[in-house]
Structure 1
Amino acid sequence: MSRYTVVSIQKSPAPHGQSGDNWYRYEISGGATTIIGYRRGTLGEARVLARECVIHLNTQLTGMPAGEFVRRTVNPVADVDPLVTA
């Protein structure tokens, strides 16, 4: 079973039909699956959204009901986002 991780987050032009210059494009990968998303706001907001998506996707893979998160002693952000060092 593949685990999803954040591959990249970068400044991006607005998606088609949208306005503004504060857009970020994030890429999430899980084996053969790639998810591309866009977030308007700051880099920090885009990172939070991408991490939340990864945590949600990986939680669904374990069969745990959505919204139930297990406390862990390791750094969960470093587990899902290789762009962040622990």
Structure 2
Amino acid sequence: GMSQALHFGKSVHDNGWGMFTTFLAYKLKEQGKQLVKIDKWFPSTKKCSCCGAEKPVKLSERTYRCSCGYVADRDYNSAINIKNEGLRLLALS
């Protein structure tokens, strides 16, 4: 509401997200863990978590079906891809 009423645009939303990620990284570091950020353009919804092939997916499609035979909920497939990309980036650092 504040961003619309005072015409700050996205800066208020961006600041909130930045504070959240900073706080999350701080709390994870206390526990001996690390926050890994993946690229916002990573094709998590278009990529098969089984074979790695990419295909266009409409937003209305709730089930991901790949030509390799893999079938899963679209969000579950995306979560696996995000986890795997995070692990890959962690191994590089």
TM-score (norm: length of structure 1): 0.31
Q: Which has the higher strand share?
A: 1
* CA radius of gyration, larger in: 2
Greater helix share, 1 or 2?
2
TM-score (norm 2): 0.29
Name the structure, 1 or 2, with higher relative contact order (CA <8 Å, separation 6+). Answer: 1
